[in-house]
Amino acid sequence: MTTKTTSAVTEPDRFAERVASADWDAVATEVDDYGCALLPQLLTPAECGRIVALWERRELFRAEINLRRHRFGDNGDYRYFAEPFPEPVAALRRALYPRLLPIARDWHRKLGRAAEWPDTLDEWLEVCHAAGQTRPTPILLRYEPGGWNALHRDLYGEKVFPLQVVINLNAPGVDHTGGEFLLVEQRPRAQSRGTATLLPQGHGLVFTTRDRPVRSVRGWSASPVRHGVSVVRSGRRHTLGLVFHDAT
């Protein structure tokens, strides 16, 4: 007699399945049109809570930045994870990179730039390390009431992946009010355009890291993009930031 066994889905597989559940054609279209796109729920409320709890474990982080001290904003801090990453962080980065890669390559084709990103995240990080960018960049951010983050771009060296993902770890309207994710795009020969997004708990937002192609009289032009966070009016807001290039 044979016994059929069913193995449980591992955590990395579970995160990969959630990433795969997105309509990636629709995501690509929305990112092309607006510079950002909402992703499905990548983390459950319980998983969000476990990541928030990591804030108290200082040994998991390589560096901390205070927004007020560095004049990057106010009433908030962010911490860069050290390696090895907690499994949700590592698994989500591995699963998201190949989904974002076709968009990145298409953007650089339109802009007449060479697309230097290999097929896997590990290969791309080897390219970063060869260029002297060896420090990991996944970020855990925390904002207190009155906290905000100035418009900026997460550039840490010559090697840049043109898309990144942020995941809201709290429930808007329950855990905090305010704290919208802001994206400001400098349009060619036009005024800047702003987008504000309030992310549901556990959902991701893919957005432009540095610039993106937009239609212009010359065909395609690079439109610079910066991102930030509006004032948190009450409560506390935590987010997980997934950047796909390492830092010098």
pLDDT in tens, 211-234: 999 998 888 999 999 999 999 999
* CA distance linking residue 227 with residue 206, whole number of Å: 12
What is the arithmetic mean of pLDDT over 102-109?
98
What are the residues whose beta carbons fall under 8 Å from the beta carbon of 49, sequence distance 6 or more?
A: 169
Backbone angles phi and psi of 182, in degrees to 5 = -110, 140
* CA distance linking residue 124 with residue 184, whole number of Å: 27
* 219: amino acid identity, one letter: G
DSSP string, 57-118: -GGGEEEEEETTTTTSEEEEEEEEEPSSPPHHHHHHHHHHHHHHHHHHHHHHHHTT------
pLDDT of 8 > 50? The answer is no
User: In angstroms, what CA-CA distances link 167 with 25, 89, 180, 195?
Assistant: 20, 11, 12, 17
Reported as half-sphere exposure (CB side, CA atoms, 13 A), residue 169 has a value of 23
Model pLDDT, residue 190: 79
pLDDT of 3 > 90? The answer is no
pLDDT in tens, 162-211: 999 999 999 999 999 999 999 999 987 778 999 999 999 999 999 999 99
What mean pLDDT is reported for the chain? 94
* CA distance linking residue 208 with residue 159, whole number of Å: 15
pLDDT of 118 > 80? The answer is yes
pLDDT of 57 > 60? The answer is yes
Q: Map out the domains of the chain as residue ranges.
A: 11-242
Model pLDDT, residue 44: 98
12 neighbors 88 (Cβ within 8 angstroms)? no
* CA distance linking residue 106 with residue 155, whole number of Å: 20
pLDDT of 102 > 60? The answer is yes
Buried-exposed string 157-179: b where 16+ CB fall within 10 A, e elsewhere: eebbbbbbbbbbbbebeebbebb
172 neighbors 246 (Cβ within 8 angstroms)? no
Model pLDDT, residue 99: 98
Model pLDDT, residue 12: 64
As a whole number of angstroms, the longest Cα–Cα distance in the chain is 75
| This model's pTM is above 0.75 | yes
Other Cβ atoms closer than 10 A to 123:
11
Q: Which residues pair with 36 in a beta bridge?
A: 207
pLDDT of 154 > 80? The answer is yes
Lowest mean pLDDT among 21-35, 70-84, 159-173, 181-195: 181-195
209 neighbors 155 (Cβ within 8 angstroms)? yes
Domain 11-242 has CATH 3.40.50.10490: no
Mean pLDDT is highest, among 2-16, 94-108, 188-202, for 94-108
